[in-house]
Amino acid sequence: MQMLTMPDSAAAKKLYDKLKLAAPDATILFDQDCRLAIDNQHMLDELEIKLDSDVKVDEKMPAAIQASRQWHPEDTIIKTAHTRLGGNQFTLIAGPDSIESVDHIFAMADAVKHTGATILRGGSFKPRTNPYSFQGYGEAGLKAHRAAADAFELDMMTEIMDTRDFALIDGYTDIFQVGARNMQNFSLLKQLGAQQKPVGLKRGMSATIDDLLNAAEYILAAGNPNVFLIERGIRTFDHQYTRNTLDIAAVPVLQKLTHLPVLIDPSHAAGAHDLVAPLALASAAIGAQGLMIEIHDHPKEALVDGAQAITPAELEKIMQQTQAIRLSLKEG
Amino acid sequence: MQMLTMPDSAAAKKLYDKLKLAAPDATILFDQDCRLAIDNQHMLDELEIKLDSDVKVDEKMPAAIQASRQWHPEDTIIKTAHTRLGGNQFTLIAGPDSIESVDHIFAMADAVKHTGATILRGGSFKPRTNPYSFQGYGEAGLKAHRAAADAFELDMMTEIMDTRDFALIDGYTDIFQVGARNMQNFSLLKQLGAQQKPVGLKRGMSATIDDLLNAAEYILAAGNPNVFLIERGIRTFDHQYTRNTLDIAAVPVLQKLTHLPVLIDPSHAAGAHDLVAPLALASAAIGAQGLMIEIHDHPKEALVDGAQAITPAELEKIMQQTQAIRLSLKEG
Amino acid sequence: MQMLTMPDSAAAKKLYDKLKLAAPDATILFDQDCRLAIDNQHMLDELEIKLDSDVKVDEKMPAAIQASRQWHPEDTIIKTAHTRLGGNQFTLIAGPDSIESVDHIFAMADAVKHTGATILRGGSFKPRTNPYSFQGYGEAGLKAHRAAADAFELDMMTEIMDTRDFALIDGYTDIFQVGARNMQNFSLLKQLGAQQKPVGLKRGMSATIDDLLNAAEYILAAGNPNVFLIERGIRTFDHQYTRNTLDIAAVPVLQKLTHLPVLIDPSHAAGAHDLVAPLALASAAIGAQGLMIEIHDHPKEALVDGAQAITPAELEKIMQQTQAIRLSLKEG
Amino acid sequence: MQMLTMPDSAAAKKLYDKLKLAAPDATILFDQDCRLAIDNQHMLDELEIKLDSDVKVDEKMPAAIQASRQWHPEDTIIKTAHTRLGGNQFTLIAGPDSIESVDHIFAMADAVKHTGATILRGGSFKPRTNPYSFQGYGEAGLKAHRAAADAFELDMMTEIMDTRDFALIDGYTDIFQVGARNMQNFSLLKQLGAQQKPVGLKRGMSATIDDLLNAAEYILAAGNPNVFLIERGIRTFDHQYTRNTLDIAAVPVLQKLTHLPVLIDPSHAAGAHDLVAPLALASAAIGAQGLMIEIHDHPKEALVDGAQAITPAELEKIMQQTQAIRLSLKEG
C-alpha cells in the first residue's frame, strides 16, 4: 500500500474520483483528512498522473492500512449509550460466560453495574470444542440478556458466530463480539463491517499481530470504524498451568501500530480464576484500554468455563486496584 | 463419554429409546453395531437401570466419540462418482489455488486428469488475510469449475466459508472443503453435517489433534459420515523457510485414533514449490491416504499463492514416485 | 515423589538414616522442618516400615520437590552484601549487556546506583548465536566489573557458560547468572549447586514451568538454596514486533508453585527499548519480586543488543513508576 | 558476511594475509577453493583495496557462512573406520538410550550390527530433566560401550554434556553427540571444533533452522569440518500424542542451505515406539541421509525412555523398508 497526503480534502477527493474511474477494480481508499491510498504502485505511472510537489508520499504502508496509525493518527473513540471506549478511557466489560436464566443474568447485571462496568457480556450462542457440550440458549438467552442490560442501564455485548444469525442478534445487542475461533471468518467480518454497531474482535489463538490488524481491516474496509481489539492469550507450547499465554506486550505493540482501542480478556488467557486478578492488574499497568472479565456468583455451578470465573466481590476488588494503579501512573 | 456394547442391535436400540425418553436433552448416541454412548455417567444410576452382564462398558471414551476407532473400528470409505477415498486407497486431489478463467480451469483439469487424480480442486471463494486481496470469482468460478470437472470426468471440490453460500455452492460442487481458518466455524460444520456430500476438513493452524477430531465430530454428530481430514501444517516458531510446519506424525497418530481418511496438503504446509515434492513423497511413505496439491501452468502468474504451485509435469513425477514408494512398501 | 511430615525433626532424621542405610542409591531427602521425601513408593513396604498415625503423607509431590511450596512453604529470602531478594522485596538488577571498558562500566555503575538498583549486571562471557559475533572481554571484563561494583557498593552479577570458567568467575562475582540457552546445562547447574553464592536462573526459550523448576531443583539438590528465577520471554509463533513473548502469567503461577523469588527481564523479552518500560510496569503490578534491565548511555553504540537497551534516565522513570504502582497496591 | 571468489587460490591467500595483517581482530575466512569471506563491508574501502574485475563478490552471505552451500557447494562426506556419512549414503545409527550393563550393550551391539547399522549409540552421561533421575553410568558405561563397538566392528557414538568431560570421553568414543539441550552450549561447541572427530549436532527444541546452522558454524569456525545435523522434533503447542513435532521439511530445507549431512532421530521426535517406523519411512522418502534410532530388547525394562524404544526385530524391518523406498526412488 502507498499513501498520498494531499494539500486538502478536495484535491484528495478529486484524485480519488479520477483513479476510481480509471481503475474501478483497484483498491483505492479515501479519507476526509486529505489522505488517499492505492494498492497498485504503477497505477499513477500508467495513468500518467504527476503528483504536485506538495503531495506527501508514504511508500511502505501496512496492508491493514485503515487500521494503521499512519492513516489515522488519533485514537479511535467508540461511543455507545452507556460507554466511551478508547483513548484514555478504561472500560470494563463483565458478565457470565453464558446466559443461564433470566434470574441469573439479572443478578449478574446488578453485580456488574455495582463494579462500575458499563458493558454486560454473556453468550447465547457458544462456540464449544465438542458438539455435545452446551451450545447456549439462543434467542431466549438474548431476550433475557437485553432485559437485564436495560434494567441496569448497561450496554449489551454478545458473540455472533454465524452470518445467518445476524438479524436475530442485531435485534437485541448493542455490541457484537467476534470470538477467537472466528477471527478469520471473513464473511462474518464483512457483514459486521456493513453495519455501524461496535465490534469487539478477539485475537485468534495463533493469530499474529498483523493477522489481527488485517481482520480488523475487513470490518473497517466494509465501512464500520467502530472496532476494538481484545487480546485473550495465544497458544504456545506451555499450557500446563494456564489455558493460553497472555501476550501482554501486544498492548503497547498494537497501540503503536493502530488507533483502535486495545482491551485484555484475562479470563480466557488464564483459564484459572486465581490468575484473573494478577493479569488484570498487569493489564492496567501496561496501559490496556479496558478489560473483559467473566464472573459468576457460584463459579462451580457455571454452565460453561466455571474454572475461570471470578465472583462479583473479586471483580470489585480488581476494579479498585486497577483504578489505584492507573491513578498512580497519572500522578507519577 | 461412556460406551456400552450390547449383545445385539435390538437391545441397544431398546435401551436407546428408553434413555432418550427419560432424558431427551442428554447426549445419547446409537449405532447399528450394538453400540450405545452416553455422556452422563450417572444417568443409568438415576434411572435405576441395571446392565446385564453381557454388556461391555468402556468408561473412558474420547469426547469426539463417533470419530473414534473404538466407536467405529473399520476404516471409513467415502465413495463419489469418480473416487474412492480412505482405507488402502491413495487419492490425489489437484488443481489451481483459485479458478482464474474458463480456459484456465479446463487446461488444469486436463492436466489433473492426466496425472491420475480424480478430484479437481479450485477456489471461487477465497479466504484472504487482507481484505484488498483477490477474493475469488464467486459463482462464475463455480460454473467454470463444474464444467471442467464434468468435461474431464473428475469430482469437483471447492471451499465454503459462509453458511449463507451453502445453497449456491451445493448447486455445483461434489465435495465441500472447510479451510484451516474455518475449522472451528461450528455453524458451518453443523450445516455440512446436515447433508451427505463429502467434506474435506483441513486442520486449523493451531488446532490440536483433539481439536481436529472434535471439529469432525460436529459433522458426524449432525448426521454426515463422509468426512476426511487434511493435515496442512501447523503454526510454530519457525517460519523462515516454510510457511507452516508439516506435522507428518499426525498421519499415524490420527489413523490410530480415528477411522476417517487422513490426507496431506503439502502445498500449504510448504509454501514453497520446491518443497512440495519431498513432502509428498514423505506423505506417501508414512501412509497418508492421499494428497491435495496445488498446480499451475505458469506459477508466477497465478492469482493466488503462486509461490507454492507446482507445474503439471512436476505433479506427474510426484505421482510416479509416490506410486513407486507405495508399491515398494506393499512388496516389502 | 512422596512427602512424609513427621511429628518432629528428630523422628524425621531417624527415619532418614534408616532408609539411607537400607537404600543408599535411592533419592531420600531430609529437611529440618520434620519433612522427609522418598522417590520410591514401595520402599516403605519393602522395608516393612509402618508409619505412625501422626505422620502426614502427601502422595503426589512434584518431581522438583525442594523447589516446591509444599516442601518449603515460606518465601526464600536471599541475602547478599547489598541486597535482599525475595518475599516482599522488589529488587532491581541493572547494567549494560556486556562490559565494554573500565570507564563505561564505572559510568553505568554510577547510573545504576542512582536508580536504587543494588545489583550491577554485565557480561564478560557472552552467549552469541553466531561465532563471529563479539564474545565478551573475558577476565579483563570481570576485573572492571568487580572494580565498578565495589566503587559504587553494588553486588556484581555475571553470566557463566562453561564449568571450566567457574574458578575464574567465582574469583570476581557475587551472583552467578545462568542464561536461557544454558538452563538445561545440567553439569553447570550441579556445579553452581555445589557452592553457596546466589544463582539467577533464566527460563529457557522453550522451557515449560516444570522444566524451569526442575532446573532449579538441580541447584537445590546439590546443596545451594540461593536460587532465583528470571522469566525473560518464551519463543512463540509471533516474533515480528517482539523478540520473545513475555509470559507474564508465569509470575503468579510460579509464586504459587515455588518459594523461590521470581523476577522479570523485560529487556530480552521485548528486544525493543520502547517496550521495556510498559513491560516493567506490568511486572510490578503482577507482583514480580524484581526486574533485570539492560541499560546503556548510548544504546546505538552498544557492542551487544543495543536495540533493547534503555538509558539511565529512562530507568529512573521506570523505578519511580514501579514504586508508585507497588505503593498503590499496598494501600488498596 | 560478504564472499569474494578470487581467480585462484594463491590470489585468495595473498589477499587473506594482507587483510589479516591489517585487521587481526576481524572475521576473515579463507578456503582453498579461491574463496575469501569478510564480515566488515567497509574493510576493503578503508584499506583502499580495489578488487580486480575477475573477482566475484557475493554481498549477502548467511552469518553461518562456512556451513553454507554457497561457501562449500559439494556435499560434505564424513569418513570413520566403519562409516561413510553424507552425500548419497544412508547411515543408520542405533543402540540403547543408555548403557545399562556390559552384557546388555554387547547384546544390543550384536543386534545393531545385524541390521546393517554402522554406528553404535548409547549414553553414559544422560541429560535428565529431573536431578533425581538416573544420570548414566559414566566411565564404566564408556568402557562397556567401547568394548561392544570393537567386538562388533562398529563406530561408537556418545553424548558429551560438559567441557570438563572431554578428555575422558575422547579416550573412548569415535563420534561425539551434542544433545538438543546443549545445541547452544557454545563453549562445548568450540571445544569440539578444536578436534577432528565427527560431531552429531542435534537441533534444539526451539532452535530455528538458522540457529542450528549457526551452532554448526561454531564447530566449523573452530576448525572441525566433520559435523552432521540431526533433526529430532521441535516443541510446539501439541504434545498430547507425540513428545515433539518432527519438522520433516527441515531435511530438504537444510540440504538446500548447507553441505552438511542431515539425519533424523525419529525416536525422540515421536516419544512413542509405534510412531518410530512410520517416521523412519517418511525420513527415507524425503531424502534424509540417515537415521538415529533407539532400540531395546525389553523396552519396558529400559532404564531411560523405554516408551520410545523399538526392538531389534522392528529395526530390521524398518531397514528393509527404508532400503525398498530408497531403491524405488532411484529407479523412478
Residue D22 has a pLDDT of 86
CA distances from A298 to A313, C37, D44 (A): 12, 38, 74
Read off the pLDDT of residues D276-292 as tens digits, 9 standing for 90 and up: 999 999 999 999 999 99
3-state secondary structure of C255: helix
Residue B204 has pLDDT above 90, yes or no: yes
Q: In terms of CA atoms, which chain B residue is nearest residue C237?
A: B237
Residue D95 has a pLDDT of 98
The distance of Cα D325 from the centroid of its chain, to the nearest Å, equals 23
Contact (Cβ atoms closer than 8 angstroms) between residue B206 and residue A206:
yes
Residue C86 has a pLDDT of 98
Residue B43 Cα, gap to closest chain C Cα (Å) = 32
Please spell the DSSP secondary structure of C140-197, one letter per residue.
HHHHHHHHHHHHTT-EEEEE---GGGHHHHHTT-SEEEE-GGGTT-HHHHHHHHTS-S
Read off the pLDDT of residues B267-296 as tens digits, 9 standing for 90 and up: 999 999 999 999 999 999 999 999 999 999
Residue A51 has a pLDDT of 85
Q: Which residue of A131, A163, A184 is in closest CB contact with B221?
A: A131
Chains A, B: CB pairs < 8 Å: 87
Read off the pLDDT of residues C27-67 as tens digits, 9 standing for 90 and up: 889 887 899 998 876 778 888 888 888 899 998 899 999 99
Q: What is the dihedral of CA D142, D148, D153, D157, to 10 degrees?
A: -30
Q: How far is the C-alpha of A71 from the C-alpha of A84, rounded, in Å?
A: 22
List the grid coordinates of A256. 503503536
- In this prediction, what percent of chain D has a pLDDT beyond 90? 83
pLDDT-derived band of residue B76, with 50, 70 and 90 as boundaries? very high
Read off the pLDDT of residues D233-268 as tens digits, 9 standing for 90 and up: 999 999 999 999 999 999 999 999 999 999 999 999
Residue C30 has a pLDDT of 87
| Residues in contact with A22: Cβ distance below 8 Å, sequence separation at least 6, in sequence order | A43, A47
Residue C332 has a pLDDT of 57
Q: How far is the C-alpha of C66 from the C-alpha of C217, rounded, in Å?
A: 6
Residue C41 has a pLDDT of 65
**Cross-chain residue pair D131–C218, CB shorter than 8 Å:** yes
| Residues in contact with A265: Cβ distance below 8 Å, sequence separation at least 6, in sequence order | A202, A230, A231, A232, A233, A291, A292, A293
Residue B228 has a pLDDT of 98
Q: Which residue of B130, B206, B217 is in closest CB contact with A205?
A: B206
Contact (Cβ atoms closer than 8 angstroms) between residue C97 and residue C295:
no
Q: How far is the C-alpha of B175 from the C-alpha of B162, rounded, in Å?
A: 15
Q: How far is the C-alpha of C76 from the C-alpha of C67, rounded, in Å?
A: 10
Residue A268 has a pLDDT of 95
Residue B47 has a pLDDT of 80
| Residues in contact with B281: Cβ distance below 8 Å, sequence separation at least 6, in sequence order | B318, B321, B322, B325, D285, D286, D329
User: CA end-to-end span of chain D, whole Å?
Assistant: 40
Residue B72 has pLDDT above 80, yes or no: yes
**Chains linked to D by 3 or more Cβ pairs within 8 Å:** A, B, C
Count of CB atoms situated within 10 Å of the CB of B26: 13
Residue B46 has pLDDT above 90, yes or no: no
List helix spans (H) across D194-272: 209-221, 250-257, 266-270
pLDDT-derived band of residue B48, with 50, 70 and 90 as boundaries? confident
* Domain map (residue ranges) of chain A: 2-58, 78-331
Residue D103 Cα, gap to closest chain B Cα (Å) = 33
Find, among A210, A189, A262, A226, the residue nearest to A61 by Cα.
Answer: A210
Find, among B86, B123, B80, the residue nearest to B294 by Cα.
Answer: B123
- In this prediction, what percent of chain B has a pLDDT beyond 70? 99
Residue D49 Cα, gap to closest chain A Cα (Å) = 37
The distance of Cα D328 from the centroid of its chain, to the nearest Å, equals 27
Q: Which residue of C181, C187, C204 is in closest CB contact with D162?
A: C187
Read off the pLDDT of residues B291-312 as tens digits, 9 standing for 90 and up: 999 999 999 999 998 899 999 9
The mean pLDDT value of chain D amounts to 95
Mean pLDDT along residues C13-27: 87
Residue C150 has pLDDT above 80, yes or no: yes
Q: What length does chain A have?
A: 332
**Cross-chain residue pair C275–A269, CB shorter than 8 Å:** no
Residue B27 has a pLDDT of 87
**Cross-chain residue pair C164–D163, CB shorter than 8 Å:** yes
Identify which has the larger pLDDT, D209 or D330. D209
Find, among B120, B267, B159, B142, the residue nearest to A184 by Cα.
Answer: B159
Identify all chain B residues contacting D276, using CB atoms and an 8 Å cutoff: none
pLDDT-derived band of residue D323, with 50, 70 and 90 as boundaries? very high
Residue A110 Cα, gap to closest chain B Cα (Å) = 31
- The kind and range of the H/E element at C135 are none
The mean pLDDT value of chain C amounts to 95
Mean pLDDT along residues D65-80: 96
Q: How far is the C-alpha of B220 from the C-alpha of B326, rounded, in Å?
A: 30
Is the domain spanning B78-331 CATH 3.30.930.10? The answer is no
Q: How far is the C-alpha of D291 from the C-alpha of D281, rounded, in Å?
A: 10
Mean pLDDT along residues C281-297: 98
CA distances from D215 to A94, B239, C196, D126, D188 (A): 49, 19, 32, 21, 10
pLDDT-derived band of residue D42, with 50, 70 and 90 as boundaries? confident
Angle subtended at Cα B13 by Cα B8 and Cα B15, rounded to the nearest 5 degrees: 100
Residue B12 has pLDDT above 70, yes or no: yes
Find, among C244, C311, C252, the residue nearest to C279 by Cα.
Answer: C244
C140 phi, psi to nearest 5 deg: -60, -40
Between A11-20, D74-83, D198-207, D313-322, the lowest mean confidence (pLDDT) is in A11-20
Residue B178 Cα, gap to closest chain A Cα (Å) = 12
Identify which has the larger pLDDT, D192 or A44. D192
Residue B99 has a pLDDT of 97
Q: How far is the C-alpha of D214 from the C-alpha of D220, rounded, in Å?
A: 10
Q: How far is the C-alpha of A211 from the C-alpha of A205, rounded, in Å?
A: 11
Identify all chain A residues contacting D237, using CB atoms and an 8 Å cutoff: 206, 235-237, 239
Contact (Cβ atoms closer than 8 angstroms) between residue B81 and residue B126:
no
Read off the pLDDT of residues C77-115 as tens digits, 9 standing for 90 and up: 999 999 999 999 999 999 999 999 999 999 999 999 999
Three-class DSSP labels, A288-320: CCEEEEEECCCHHHCCCCHHHCECHHHHHHHHH
Identify which has the larger pLDDT, D27 or A248. A248
Q: How far is the C-alpha of D122 from the C-alpha of D115, rounded, in Å?
A: 16
- How many Cα atoms are found within 13 Å in the side-chain-facing hemisphere of A169? 28
Q: For residues A274-303, b (16+ Cβ closer than 10 Å) or e, as one string? A: ebbbbbbbbbbbbbbbbbbbbbbeebeebb
DSSP tag of D170: H
Q: In terms of CA atoms, which chain D residue is nearest residue B285?
A: D282
Diameter of chain D by CA atoms?
A: 69
Q: How far is the C-alpha of A216 from the C-alpha of A213, rounded, in Å?
A: 5
pLDDT-derived band of residue B41, with 50, 70 and 90 as boundaries? low
Identify all chain C residues contacting B237, using CB atoms and an 8 Å cutoff: 206, 235-237, 239
Count of CB atoms situated within 10 Å of the CB of A43: 17
The distance of Cα A96 from the centroid of its chain, to the nearest Å, equals 18
Q: In terms of CA atoms, which chain D residue is nearest residue A245?
A: D237
Residue D1 has a pLDDT of 85
Residue D47 has a pLDDT of 80
Contact (Cβ atoms closer than 8 angstroms) between residue A239 and residue C247:
no
Count of CB atoms situated within 10 Å of the CB of C166: 17
- The alpha carbon dihedral of A291, C272, C100, C314 has a sign of negative
Read off the pLDDT of residues D198-233 as tens digits, 9 standing for 90 and up: 999 999 999 999 999 999 999 999 999 999 999 999
Q: Which residues of chain A have pLDDT under 70?
A: 41, 332
- Tracing cell 552469518 back to the chain, one arrives at D63
Q: How far is the C-alpha of A329 from the C-alpha of A287, rounded, in Å?
A: 10
